[in-house]
Amino acid sequence: MLDRETAQEQVLKAAEELFYAQGIQAVGMDAVRSASGVSLKRLYQLFPSKEALVLRFLQRRDTSWRQALARYVDTHATPDEQVLAVYDWLHQWFSEPGYRGCAFINSFGELGGTSPDVADQARHHKQAFRDYLASLVAAAGRPEELADQLNLLAEGAITTSAITGTPEPARQAREAAHLLLQAHQQTKKTDARLTR
């Protein structure tokens, strides 16, 4: 018999693949049982309801997604390069086989109206991503409102790429982000000259 940690890992891995590929409502606990190799009884011992499993899937996805993004961005030297690296990473993500958009947007669309906890998880993920962008913007010495603009570019690219089936929106968003960085840099230089 599998120990609790191993069984939980197998269930979560199976659930993540199934929920992301097929949608949450289309996947029953029997399908998770079959894909994970964990008995239905054990599955319900680990996750007493499907919603509990969905919430744990979203928490796990949030952590892994944000860590992967930060690892990639951290390999770039300057603050401006780090901001633009967000869009390069998105392009890589969009290019992965089986890309179906944002798991949080998808889950919110499926369950946000009936599950306040799922809606909260989606909001938490989106706020954490926006806050991460704000930290990059601050390190680049740009005004905080730029974080909201960059966030809209990224979120629009995520959704557009999922619908169109091409990673190209990441490149377009990167170009727009580059222009915004330049515009805010120019404004900063102009303001500095005026205050001398």
Kindly tell me if the per-residue pLDDT of 193 is higher than 60: no
Phi-psi region at 28: left, alpha or beta (left = phi > 0; alpha = psi -120 to 50): beta
What is residue 111's predicted lDDT score, i.e. its pLDDT? 95
User: How much of the chain, in percent, has pLDDT values that exceed 90?
Assistant: 92
**Residue 139, CB half-sphere, CA atoms under 13 Å: how many?**
17
Kindly tell me if the per-residue pLDDT of 187 is higher than 80: no
Q: Cα separation of 108 and 97, whole Å?
A: 23
Arithmetic mean of pLDDT over the chain: 94
Q: Which of 66-70, 147-151, 180-184, 188-192 has the lowest mean pLDDT?
A: 188-192
Residue ranges covered by each domain of the chain: 1-48, 54-194
How far is CA 7 from each of CA 2, 24, 39, 60, 170, rounded to the nearest angstrom? 6, 20, 10, 15, 37
Of 16, 18, 23, 11, the C-alpha closest to 108 is: 23
Kindly tell me if the per-residue pLDDT of 33 is higher than 80: yes
Could you check whether 1-48 and 54-194 share the same CATH topology?
no
Of 173, 179, 178, 176, the C-alpha closest to 87 is: 173
pTM of the model: 0.91
Q: Cα separation of 105 and 19, whole Å?
A: 13
Band (pLDDT 50/70/90 cuts) for residue 25 is very high
Q: Cα separation of 166 and 101, whole Å?
A: 11
Band (pLDDT 50/70/90 cuts) for residue 184 is confident
Q: What's the topology of domain 1-48?
A: Arc Repressor Mutant, subunit A (1.10.10)
Question: What is the distance in angstroms between the CA of the first residue and the CA of the last residue of the chain?
Answer: 74
Of 131, 127, 130, 105, the C-alpha closest to 118 is: 105
Give per-residue pLDDT as tens, 61-117. 999 999 999 999 999 999 999 999 999 999 999 999 999 999 999 999 999 999 999
Top CATH class of 54-194 equals: mainly alpha
Q: What is the mean pLDDT of residues 169-195?
A: 81
Kindly tell me if the per-residue pLDDT of 14 is higher than 70: yes
Kindly tell me if the per-residue pLDDT of 127 is higher than 60: yes
Q: Which two tokens stand for residue 34?
A: 């079959």
Band (pLDDT 50/70/90 cuts) for residue 2 is confident
Kindly tell me if the per-residue pLDDT of 170 is higher than 70: yes
Kindly tell me if the per-residue pLDDT of 194 is higher than 60: no
